[in-house]
Structure 1
Amino acid sequence: MFLSDNETVLHTVSSAEVKQFRCLESGKAFAFKNSLIQHAVVHSRVKNFKCDECGTQFALKKSLTKHLLIHSGVKNFKCDECGKQFTDKRNLTKHLLIHSGVKNFKCDECGKRFAQKGVLNQHLLFHSGVKNFKCDECGRRFAQKGDLTKHLLIHSGVKNFKCDECGKQFARKENLTKHLLIHSGVKNFKCDECGKQFARKENLTKHLLIHSGVKNFKCDECGKQFTVKGNLTKHLLIHSGVKNFKCDECGKRFTWNENLTRHLLIHSGVKNFKCDECGKQFTDKGNLTKHLLIHSGVKNFKCDECGKRFAQKGVLTQHLLFHSGVKNFKCDECGKRFAQKGVLTQHLLFHSGVKNFKCDECGKRFAQKGVLTQHLLFHSGVKNFKCDECGKRFAQKGVLNQHLLIHSGVKNFKCGECGKQFGLKSSLTTHLLIHSGVKNFKCGECGKKFGLKNNLTTHLLNHCKGKSF
């Protein structure tokens, strides 16, 4: 409020007049000479005003005064739109521009618009490519000091922001805010290509790179390419061999925390994802999605070696190990080697003697569920695999493949004792029992013993002759 009309006029002129005092360093203009003089101190690099709380130094005393409000915790200026509070009125004024929707500051490089000039200036640093702020912990560089400060929280290990829904903790409040969108179930960002929806715009942006087919980030170790740099960074951990995430239940270690989290679901026994086709349940939605490919009948991944097709790329990758001949996984019990660790793990069940899977038809027990499933085909009577040579039918394709070796005439397995050759390794193993002298199969009628079960079965037929039933 002003005392006279003259003073009112003077004030109006002062407010509207051109700012005549311009800084030659930054181009910023001021209405008063004293304001320019104070501003010039900023460019002098002299910072005589130090904060006793955190050590930050300032060129102007008023800047220190404002800064101290941060440590005081006092935030008297509140946004009526979202409730966010500020220590300084000008910060509130700038913040209100976000809610107004007005974005008057445009980036000439990419066309992105901003509500505040300061935010545009920070954004321009990304286009400049200049990253003057380096992390002493990992060497990563940043264009803005504020980004470096936020990044350092990762190395500190301090996570003060906790999600009340799932208990996950974060080093930065904005990361918690983004995370909460997952629990809200709101997904406002939709991919026009495939219809997939996302809770965050940045996730949609990353996803769109998949459809573009562009993979600019290549692994120098194995040549694998990625659409996102972050995925390459995560992938490199595999080659490093570092596995910092350990399961307290079984001791298994993982390269990434999310893999450990998924793995823990196995121990929990919780399987919330069920296949409507066959009823099989899964702990992870991704595994259910992969499983559904089996029922679809679509097999887009073909082996160039043998022509066999697969529904999943991962299964093809494992299959290729058989053709490579490389068997890096050795059984310490019997020395047998395997191309895949999973197959070795299953094989070890035989040595353990544990047989948890029982056939309800005949009572026979198995160490692996898959073997029980195959065994049940015999009881079903279904024999879908036919030999084109002799017409004999089989319940399992694998048994048919073994049978075909008989027709091929190839006998690669030779007995070291007598020189007899066999088409199947299992046949040689059975034959070796003869030379071993071990006879575990005893006739209940006459006490005679046999090395092979089928010999005992043939012998029992002799006792049956002449008997009426």
Structure 2
Amino acid sequence: MSKVLFSENLTTNNICRICLLSVEDGTDLFSEDGTSKNILEKIHLCFQIILNYEEYLPNYICNNCCKELECANNFRVKCITFEERFIVYNNETVEDQDDSDIKQTEDDPELRSNLMPVENDSEVHLAYNANETYKSQYNDGYKCDICNKILKTKVSLLKHIVSMHQMKKHVGRITGSGVNRRYHCTKCVYSTPHSQTLVNHMRRHNGERPYHCKCGKSFTQSASLTAHQKTHSNMMYFTCATCGKQFRHAYSLKTHLRVHETGSFKCSICQKALKTQKSLQGHMNRHYNIRNYNCEDCGATFITCPELLNHRKKHSVEKTAECHLCGYKTNAKKNLVIHLKRHAGDKAYKCEVCNKTAYTQSDLRRHQRVHSREKPYPCPACSQHFSHSSTLNQHARNVHGLTYRWGEYKTESGMSSVKQEKHEQ
């Protein structure tokens, strides 16, 4: 950030640090009392802004800004404490509803006929449709004999029996009680402590997908539909705090954060440290030139799935990424990012030998070969070596009459070396 110059003659004692209005009765932000520290802490918690003392900047905050800050902080506290307050609210609502349902049951002959208490006051037997018997004790509440769940009132027990054990088609087998209760799938070994989770799981067996998107796709859970609908929007909801890259989904950000971690999986061949087991497997495939991904359009093969996906974009005629400055279009977002760097003159990569700067890491690598005299591209027809693959391709075409790309030759030579190594073993 550029440094702002202030006039020494400017009087800032009667100006608010936030709104720049005149302060008649304000608070000194940098005094030693608890009020000032409390205000600075709220500003940091609400907006992640740290105000520091500057000699030529205002040090006071007006009462109106304090009131607005208090409103913002109250809203933040409401958001943070939502779950705790909702639990209290839900418990109070359930108790009030149970009391009203008891009165409704006493007035409704149909519901009252489904409850059949016995003469013994210490134990109440409830029968629904005269098929099942459900016991409960007054001391422990009302207990369901199917799943051993304990409820507070008779009406709550009746509702539980109807909704959980009779109306649901795939309730499955229930074992345990309390925190150890498990709902078991009737078609596989899956089990879960939540009944609704089992309902969502059973949709995988029966093919039911009740949540539909306007694009035609359907899903078994509402959360899956919500995550999918984000793909139709250009809005990014999650931002990496380290590099600023944005993502639509939380799991995408979680996967990206591994890029900034230190690799814990080491290659046994080149000792390179990688961050995940999957990336290590892809790295080993590159050593042995194992290509499990092939393009259905042109037959080209690739080591990793992202390489195949990037290659498929070349077959796409539609170029959706467009430069707003010159109209340049491309089908890859990364190409547009590099293109915009050239517009802005953003050369973030610097040579340590001659201080020359480059737009990308690959550009810097190519330049450094000038100092190292490295020539990693050998000609297959003669003994010459070249610093750049494009120079090799041009040499092969003009001198030897060969039309091919270095990448294709590298693939063929890599495969032949692997076959030869296996034959020698």
**TM-score bin (small chain):** 0.3 to 0.5
Compare CA radii of gyration and give the structure with the larger one.
Answer: 1
Q: Which has the higher contact order (CA 8 A, sep 6+)?
A: 2
* TM-score calculated relative to the size of structure 1: 0.38
